């Protein structure tokens, strides 16, 4: 399989000095809950690794199993289960609180440790002479959610022993998580590749068409089993009330959901993936930038897609105008360029 | 001008779970000092911003003017003038020493401040409760070099007053620097776009063909005025003796030049640019990855090009094998993928 076989349209251009300095190709699918394709740019049938963009789909069993309610998880904690957070103090505290509710601590986490993505929080940690723990990992909330799901599956035995290896594909926790991915996307996960994600759980290659379908289902609750539909609503509501927990200070997903509330759920993933659920339109969106690399391009591409789909006005429009046509400044704060979608959202090869 | 008009070949692929997860397109030129093209992949005649990849060309007047010798600049300091450094203590100290030799201090620097790219150094700074200064800017050595060049141009007047605005295109210092770029590349800078770089100096759009020519000239000293030829040799020698100063701990350019010494000069630039001078072959190399974004792709593409061109053996081959086929590990240190050039170095659209 080679991405080069079908050059995708350019979805984002970086401008400097009046010329296009860099360009990002990618594919984009917009689909409704019946599977009807609203937009298909590029190859939306090639399986791609959705990475962290599908955390909300992976968190559905936490709620659908009843574990979230039994443990009394808050909006903030449920939002954190869907998050790639910045490791700010509020994120770390919420992850620790989830683990405490499950009767365990951070030593059960199998996501690995890294310095907080949020620069100020990383510097504060360094200033205190501390090192990061698994709680600072951007995936710690998702993993704490897996641990809480484990409480509904462990049969009342030795919880720590049961949880060991929960990141592995054949562990009961991960089997539930993968089943949720398969049910919501309608994609047989055995049909395509499986890789290992940054936090050691499996990532399954799924076509953009099916990812967008899953997000349309999350948006509308149609096409989901009743308990999954209720879980989707509960998670959407939690994230809309606590958008800071999904990303953090200054982060794209947080800024969008702080403005749009329940009207948009969106989530970035590594290697240039972005997915969104649009309840007011009944649509799901899935984007993969060919080059991956970092999130600058998929964020601009999603902002431009939201402009086209939502036709916003007032403060909604102002925010999307800013995010879809990013001003680039240098170390002196001087404007040196911009990052924006081509007119109409795409430029063909 | 639109990059999408001519899809470039894929030069680097990111693999995960047995499939290509992401792909990086780009263009590559290998040229000799007579301008004969050894390799042309993609459009090598479209002007691109070379950014920091041409710091050695911008440092030639510092030596050619006699300023470097009069001020007694060391190998380390000359290498730093060609650097995008990590802001490690040795880099900061050398930049400060250059300014002291010019009779000024860091307050004359117009590059702006940012936290050291080298993570450990950034954390040490935070741990001490300090904030970064312009000396930590990855370009501080280049700027200190501009300041030293100013010593040869200021006519003995008020040096601080003379230096003010040295980053502007019409300042005498920057006119010398731009003239060096034009002379070495053979490209009339007025023919294409001019942008502003991250450190506020101008960046001129120049075709890869001409960038590779300039590096072939630096490699061979052919096609340069005598004083520029001598300056090229002096800078190559300085960098070969002090490769740590050009990048820093663990950085691609430093690792390559620590191994290859005077046989390779290479330098990364922002937005996916990489240039190299290969004295033993008399060739110059210039690469621009379409997506820019960060340096992961251009580094792998250059390592693969060095493999093909140099046909290395022993420890040379081992290093390039590592850099041209990078193992990707996750937060747990688990191998999750690789980053490598397609067989033969390219995959066509």
Q: Render pLDDT for B30-41 as a digit per residue (tens, 0 to 9).
A: 999 999 999 999
A4 vs B21: CB contact, 8 Å cut-off?
no
Structure-token pair, residue A264:
């948009």
Mapped onto helix, strand or coil, the DSSP state of residue A265 is: strand
pLDDT value for B1:
41
- Tell me, yes or no, if B48 comes closer than 8 A to chain A by beta carbon: yes
The model's pLDDT over A189-216, given as tens digits with 9 standing for 90+, comes to 999 999 999 999 999 999 999 999 999 9
Contacts of B199 in chain A (CB under 8 A): 330-332
Q: Which residue of A has its CA nearest to B333?
A: A112
Summarize chain B as % helix, strand, coil (round to 5). Answer: 45, 20, 35
User: What residues contact B280, with CB distance under 8 A and at least 6 apart?
Assistant: B263, B310
Whether the Cβ atoms of residue A290 and residue B4 lie closer than 8 Å to each other: no
Question: What's the burial of B172, exposed, middle or buried (CB within 10 Å: 0-12/13-18/19+)?
Answer: middle
Residue length of chain B: 349
* pLDDT band per the 50, 70, 90 thresholds, residue B2: very low
pLDDT above 70 for B328: yes
Q: Rg (Cα) of chain A, in Å, rounded? A: 19
* A4 has a pLDDT exceeding 60: no
Q: Are A88 and A137 in contact (CB under 8 A)?
A: no
Q: A247 is written with which tokens?
A: 């990303």
> Which pLDDT score, from 0 to 100, does residue B6 have?
75
Going by C-alpha positions, the residue among B314, B307, B260, B305 that lies closest to residue B287 is B305
What is the average pLDDT score of chain B? 96
Compute how many other C-beta atoms are within 10 angstroms of the C-beta atom of residue A178. 20
Residue B344 to residues B26, B224, B347, Cα–Cα distance (Å): 15, 33, 8
Average pLDDT, chain A: 96
E strands in chain A? 10-16, 19-32, 37-41, 47-48, 194-196, 202-204, 206-207, 265-269, 273-278, 283-289, 325-329, 335-340
Q: Tell me: pLDDT of B174 over 70.
A: yes
Binned at pLDDT 50, 70 and 90, residue B5 comes out as: low
pLDDT over 70 percentage in chain B: 98
Beta bridge partners of A81: none
Nearest to B196 among A196, A334, A348 (CB): A334
Split at pLDDT 50, 70, 90, the class of A294 is confident
Residue A97 and residue A182: Cα distance in Å, rounded? 30
Place of tokens 């200064």: B133
Partner residue facing B21 (CB), from A49, A123, A296:
A49
> HEC states along A82-143?
CCCCCCCHHHHHHHHHHHHHCCCCHHHCCCCCCCCCCHHHHHHHHHCCCCCCHHHCCCHHHH
Could you tell me if A105 lies within 8 Å of chain B, comparing CB atoms?
no
Give me the pLDDT at residue B155, please. 86
Distances (CA, A) of A30 to A201, A215, A333: 27, 10, 36
3-state secondary structure of A20: strand
pLDDT score for A341: 96
Q: How confident is the model at residue A1 (pLDDT cuts 50, 70, 90)?
A: very low
Chain A residues touching residue B22 (CB < 8 angstroms): 3, 271-272, 289-293
Is the pTM higher than 0.80? yes
Q: Considering only CB atoms, which chain A residues are within 8 Å of B294?
A: 293-294
What average pLDDT does the segment A31-52 reach?
A: 97
| Chain A CB within 8 Å of residue B23 CB | yes
Residues of B in contact with A3 (CB under 8 A): 10, 13, 20, 22-23
């Amino acid at each position: 399989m080679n991405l080069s076989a079908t050059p995708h349209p350019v979805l984002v251009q970086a401008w400097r000095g009046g010329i296009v300095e860099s360009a990002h190709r990618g594919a984009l699918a917009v689909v409704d809950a019946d599977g009807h394709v609203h937009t298909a740019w590029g190859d939306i049938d090639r399986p791609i690794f959705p990475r962290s963009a599908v955390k909300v789909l992976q968190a559905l069993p936490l709620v659908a199993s009843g574990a979230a309610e039994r443990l009394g998880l808050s909006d903030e904690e449920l939002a954190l289960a869907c998050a790639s957070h910045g490791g700010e103090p509020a994120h770390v505290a919420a992850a620790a609180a989830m683990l405490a509710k499950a009767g365990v601590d951070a030593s059960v986490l199998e996501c690995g440790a890294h310095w907080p993505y949020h620069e100020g929080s990383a510097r504060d940690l360094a200033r205190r002479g501390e090192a990061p723990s698994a709680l600072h990992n951007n995936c710690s909330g998702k993993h704490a959610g897996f641990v809480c799901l484990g409480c509904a599956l462990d049969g009342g035995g030795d919880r720590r022993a049961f949880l060991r290896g929960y990141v592995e594909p054949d562990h009961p926790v991960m089997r539930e998580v993968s089943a949720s991915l398969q049910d919501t996307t309608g994609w047989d996960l055995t049909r395509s590749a499986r890789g290992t994600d940054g936090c050691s759980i499996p990532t399954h290659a799924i076509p953009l068409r099916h990812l967008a379908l899953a997000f349309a289902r999350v948006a509308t609750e149609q096409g989901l089993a009743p308990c999954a539909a209720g879980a989707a609503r509960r998670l959407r509501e939690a994230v809309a009330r606590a958008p800071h927990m999904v990303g953090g200070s200054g982060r794209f997903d947080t800024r969008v959901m702080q403005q749009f509330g329940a009207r948009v759920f969106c989530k970035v993933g590594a290697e240039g993936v972005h997915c969104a659920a649009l309840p007011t339109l009944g649509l799901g969106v899935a984007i993969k930038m060919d080059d991956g690399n970092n999130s600058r391009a998929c964020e601009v591409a999603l902002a431009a897609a939201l402009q086209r789909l939502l036709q916003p006005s007032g403060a909604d429009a102002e925010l999307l105008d800013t995010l879809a046509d990013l001003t680039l400044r240098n170390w002196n704060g001087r404007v040196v360029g911009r990052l924006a979608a081509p007119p109409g959202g795409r430029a063909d090869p």
